[in-house]
Structure 1
Amino acid sequence: MLPPSTVVWLLVAGGVGSLVVLGWVLYTRRLDLLSPEPAAFVVLSLGAAAWTWGYALQFAAGSLTAKTAFDGPLWLGIAAVGAAWPVFGLTVAGDDDLLTPRRTAVLVGVPVTAALIAWTNPVHGLMYAQVGLADPAVWRPLVVTPGPAFGAFVLYSYAVNGFVAWRLWCGTRDARGDARMRRGLVLAAGALPLVVGTVGLLSATPSATDPAVDYTPAMFAVTTMLTGVAVGRYGLLDPAAVARDLVVAGLSDPVVVVDGSGYVRAANRAGERLLGGRADTGVHVDEAFADHPALVTALREGDATRVQTSVRTLSPDGGSIETAEAAAGGPPDASGSTGTSGRTDSTGSTGGRADGDATRGRREERAYDVSVTPLADTDGGAVLVFRDVTDRLRAERRLTVLNRILRHDLRNDVNVIEGYLDLLRTAVSEAGLADAERYLDVAERRTADLVTLSDRARTVDDIATGDVSFTRVDVGAAAADRCEQVRREHGEGGVEVSYDPPDGPAFVEAMAVFPSVIDNLIENAVEHSDRERPRVEVSVSVTDDAVEFVVADDGPGIPAADRAVFERGDEAALEDASGLGLWLVNWVVTASGGRIAVADREPRGSVVTVTHPRAPPDPLLTGE
């Protein structure tokens, strides 16, 4: 047991500290006293002062009459703390929704009722069965025999305080940055008196000469300091700070806050997922952004700027920053170089570390435009907001495909047409009509190629700019129509096309341009065959949840350069327009939610299989 004088001084200090912190908060903060958290804080502070001073005066009094007289303010403080603490703790924990009017009435009503019972105890003896003096009486608490109401109130208090401590623990665990520190300090401020008081009561052996001492209010001197730190350092009772935390936490964009000393102060969940453990509070920017010197430089310079960088993530379980920065410059052009707008660019692929298990998700590189904004009223602090610009950059890069291919292949085809037209003019002038007819055939084929290329380019442009829609596509009907069209175009002896239809409806929910997949695959099999009479086998089959479209040919097989379009899935695999159709097939299938596979066929040829989730039956449509 602590010396009585020490206990009294702790009690006095706790009361003084509670009132000092309350006065400081009221002087420096504009509190809405009608809101639960500020109102509960004020009542809690006043109640702590009444409890500690009432207990201290009871300690110091020497007569039974004086000691029982000070039981009044003591129980006033107990009622105020007992009513205000659950409300305050739950609001700080973010569980305001638990404080319904009925529950709040119970939380306030039970401590107040207990105080009323204590004040009227001489009439009924429900709170204390017996009350007496210690020997000696001075510097000792009352010697009491608890009554049934006392036991019931103690059990209620432990249950409520335990629940509030648990909710504060959960809130602290789930919060980040200053919000975590606020909740953690309030949790410590609430748990310390509860734990110390419990240990003191369980370890005591009360007697007339050594009555049990309740150390709970004696700990208010420490809890006052913890609360003061939470208010002054971490924004407790500051609506603006709480609002900032809520806004940042709710942002889908990753946000990281760095203080003036270069340490990470806070990060929302998106930021933690993006950066992994390097977004933890207390990590220095040299470590957090070790692979991104441009970010570190921007933070040290302290000016508002923007940095563009790549992050390789393992979806859906987060990832880590990879080294993927280039020199300062402008947005990337078609070749990946930079301009002069003051950005740092990185759009290339990164080797990166093999974070995580490859079986847990698909590793994907995402490009971010990072805004670095200095914090007002701080020396070097800044907020980093990572804006995902991957889709925009992909669209820009895909549009460069059109520029490169159209610039190269259209010019070549036009030159060929012009050359054959010159020959045609010469042949006609010399009456070489047979040669003229052959030249015209070549020019017509080249012209048809230009039309096809233009159509594909328009499709790519529509998809890249988002000008697409999803619809129900009957794969079986589209395949049958295309096979019949090929037979008509090439005649009876030109191409042998067989078609194996599905047993039932073969509808998919896909891009409206999905039929172009069927066109391109069949056309590719016919055009690139080295047989005098190409053979193409087309089939469509359905399962309970998928539609499968297969094109098999007996040609030389798909070249490695064109097959890379399927394997890599990006425009870097394209050498010229010959692979544009396959690249478009892969893009449309993948964007529509399907997958594509390429295999060799024995003894020769290739097999391309497109698998797509089957659309659910539509009762408004017939034939399903």
Structure 2
Amino acid sequence: MTGTLTVYVAREHLDELIGRVFGLMVLSFTVWILGSLARLFTLDPTSYVMLTAAKYLGVATAPVWFFLFALLYAGRDRWVSRRVVAALLVVPVVTIVLIATTQFHGLFYGGFEATSLGDASVLDTERGAWFWVFAAYGWGLLAVATGTLVFSAVGQSPFYRTQSAVVVLGITIPWIAGILYIFRDWPHSAVDPTPLGFAVSAVLFAAGVFSRRLIDVVPAARSYVFDALDDAVVVLDTDGRLLDANETAHELVVDDVAVGSVVDEVIPQDTAADGGEYVIETEDSRRVFHTRSARLTDGLGRETGRIVYLNDVTEVVERERRIGVLNRVLRHNIRNELNLISGYMNVLEEKVDPADREYVEEAHESAQRVVELGDKARNLEETIQRRGSGMVVSVPTVVAQVVEVARAEYSHATVDFETAYESRRDARAIVVDEDLFQTAVANLVENAIVHNDGDAPQVTVRIELTDEDVVVSVADDGPGIPDDEMAVLSSSTETPLEHGSGLGLWLVKWTVSLSSGELTFEENDPRGSVVSVTVPAAAG
């Protein structure tokens, strides 16, 4: 069976390092078994030595392959290099050479003697000094590899714990048989029972490969993932003493703090507040972190410590601060200057020739649009800053106010308001903010009117209910939303060659997103667009 398993692994997993190592391990078991059986049929010391040297091609290398397999399975791939493999194979190579030449120096076998095994005769040996050196080396690798597998299984899912148990049990059974053979001469001083143990191993390994996906699905090393995190992660006990920290934490937070030391001065107890801001100031720098934490408990649910995650947001905070300052200054100054321009335009409109007043009016309207753009930018800034749990609003009340304002401001347009629900209480929704939600709906109605190419735009605002959501749709009979606007909204980015014409739809998109809702676009029949805002309905 070990030979069959070797062929299968070589065929299916030869392109994977762990597959090649596993295949070599099973192949070494096969050589071990065949060599042990072959030695039973010779009483000639020279032939016995040659067969033993061939057998030890498997015996001497099996611990090495098992050790390497354990490292790869546990995710410690960086420890498996050609240099490491070469170093591990030094003792096996020396062992095989000493076996082949043992009749000249007696370091492996000190003597040979024929003994009876039932009605047959077999050759027994006296073990030399190097035999025990190799035994210590092999058992040492076995112990370290087993410990690595057991350690890698701690904290893993039952699937991976079962995998590890299969491997450990499969390798332990033949080695226990070997120990009994060496120290207890069981079942006979000239008969190595280890191959019988490998028969059991083959069954377990086959079960692991075919039912537990032993080679192609292995757990990532948690220590590797721990150190690879960009966030600083610190593990503390209930007394605030440092138990562990990843590489990022050592670089940023606990560089000079030893394991077991109290770290209250570096990480105060109140740092555990989720979403809080934590600042570390030194003579040379000031770092800002957003914090999260999690309790550590034992099997009885008792608290044993906490894990603190610190996300370094220094650059983000500084960038947001600069953008905020620039935004406020520009918006304030631009609005002041445009208001001044509008005032002068009003004066100028009375003094120019009536035939030229349309140019002044156009300039005045353009200035006013820029002012409105600044207002939308302010609303966008408020939208982005809202990260709360949301608020419950009456959607009919909000929409009714929007429709009333639109009818008054755009008298040339027809704005209808339709509802499809039994009770206004049923049409309550959870949104990020009532004012922002109202502004978003108002933008949709305004766009439907302002961008309509007809003299009398027709707009219908409708509220519908589903099992879990409230849907507000705005339908118009205009030219539809341009493809370039749709492309920008779909990609959520703008470029110098591909950008939207304004901020209104961005405001709608982000408000809906922060409300855990959905924004959809459809074509109206026979002409125009239908924009729908779907937000979660409030319970009760």
User: Into which bin does the TM-score normalised by the smaller protein fall?
Assistant: 0.3 to 0.5
Instruction: State TM-score, norm by structure 2.
Output: 0.42
